[in-house]
Amino acid sequence: MAAALYPTGETCAPSRPVPVIEFHGTGDTTIPYAGDPDRGLPAIPDWVAEWAGRDDCRPAPHERVIEPDITVTRYQGCAGGAAVEHVAVTGGGHTWPGADSYSGGGYTTQTIEAHEVLWQFLRDFRTPLRHRAAPERA
C-alpha cells in the first residue's frame, strides 16, 4: 500500500521490486487525482505507472471495473513476482474505502472494504529474509 507522499527531490530506487497497491478517489481534493503541479504532485495514474516501471512490469496494465464506482488497474509480469495495482474510486474523496466513520473529506465508497482488497493483494507476497552474520562469541 502507498501513502500520498510529497516529492522530496530524492530518487526512489528500491534494491528489489516492491509490490504496491494504491487506493485513490478521483474526487480527492487533498491529493488531486489529476495531480497538482504547483505542489509537485503527479497525476495518480502517472505515479502508479512510474512504480510499474521501477518494478519492470509489462507496460500495458489490465483494467477492470469490479463495482460500479471501483476500477482496478493492475500491472503484471513484474520482476521478482511483484505486482502494482491501482484502485480508483470514482468520485471518491480523501477517504478510506469502506470506512465506518469519518476518514477524510469527500465521498466514501461502501462498495468495497479497502482492508479486504489490501489483504487479497498482499497475502501472497513475502518480504525477503536478510542474512545475518552469526553473533561473535566472547
Residue range 64-107, pLDDT digits in tens: 999 999 999 999 999 999 999 999 999 999 999 999 988 778 99
Which pLDDT band, with edges at 50, 70 and 90, does 9 fall under? confident
- Grid coordinates belonging to 129: 529474509
Spatial separation of the C-alpha atoms in residues 46 and 105, rounded to whole Å: 23
Which residue type, as a one-letter code, is found at position 73? Answer: T
Q: Cα 64–106–1 angle (5° rounding)? A: 50
> Is the distance from CB of 2 to CB of 86 less than 8 angstroms?
no
Cα dihedral 76, 70, 103, 21 in deg (nearest 10)? 0
Question: Considering the entire predicted model, what is its pTM?
Answer: 0.86
Residue 54, pLDDT > 80, answer: yes
Longest dimension (CA), the chain: 65
User: 6-15, 88-97, 121-130: lowest mean pLDDT where?
Assistant: 6-15
